Structure 1
């Protein structure tokens, strides 16, 4: 995820308009965070929104206080 964040954080231009992006993502790990796809999607979605509220451009692994990026 760190490499993805690095690539997205590099500004670029389209028709002389400077574009800057950031990525906020959440990750859920099977089977720790869920036993089926729906549970994993819900957990990773919650982690993503926690990341968005905390700081842009980070990745949060659900159930962990650690972030990457």
Structure 2
């Protein structure tokens, strides 16, 4: 992807980040802990959880593995 401004998250991306935040809250998982488990920087993950930038499919896969939730369930 070319460097520069990222597209703004759309409705599906915002719904996904809201769901990840609710799963994190329910499991007591912090942004820092999820970032480490998913192999992402805290800043990178935080921007996506705050809907500043959309998640990539690679992010979704890493988060799924880190939270130990199968992709269709996540």
TM-score, normalised to structure 2, is 0.33
Q: TM-score, normalised by structure 1?
A: 0.35
Write 1 or 2 for the structure with the bigger share of helix. Answer: 2
